[in-house]
Amino acid sequence: MSKEKELTGAQKMIGDFAPKLVELTDDVLFGDVWERKELSPRDRSLITLASLITGGNTEQLTFHLNKAKENGISEEELKEVIIHLAFYAGWPKSMSAIMVAKKVFAEGQ
């Protein structure tokens, strides 16, 4: 009896629509870049969240907030990142990000 490999998040979301983007996401971004030893997963999560919040890319925040928690960042620390960025990224971007975080953290309890 063969086990089917579980689909990645990217495969589930866009695998049938943009398979090359899925391949790059799974193999290059998460299979190579995120695995490099020069930065810890925790640091990569902080950098990624700061970049997403600064760019106003809240659609990707749910995944990356959960990944940050998996990488050892507490909910209090994640809130502090968003508060800190309010003064550098802009108030509306931080307010949008904190609303995503509130939902993510509520679902995790």
33-51 per-position pLDDT tens digit: 999 999 999 999 999 999 9
Q: What angle do CA 33, 36, 39 make, to 5 degrees?
A: 105
* Nearest residue to 65 (alpha-carbon basis) of 102, 39, 31, 30: 102
pLDDT for res 104: 96
Query: What proportion of the chain, given as a percentage, has pLDDT over 90?
Result: 90
For the chain, which domains are there?
10-39 (no CATH), 40-109 (1.20.1290.10)
CB 58 within 8 A of CB 49: no
pTM assigned to the model: 0.88
Q: What residue spans of the chain are helical by DSSP H?
A: 9-14, 19-23, 41-55, 61-70, 75-85, 91-107
State mean pLDDT over 70-88: 97
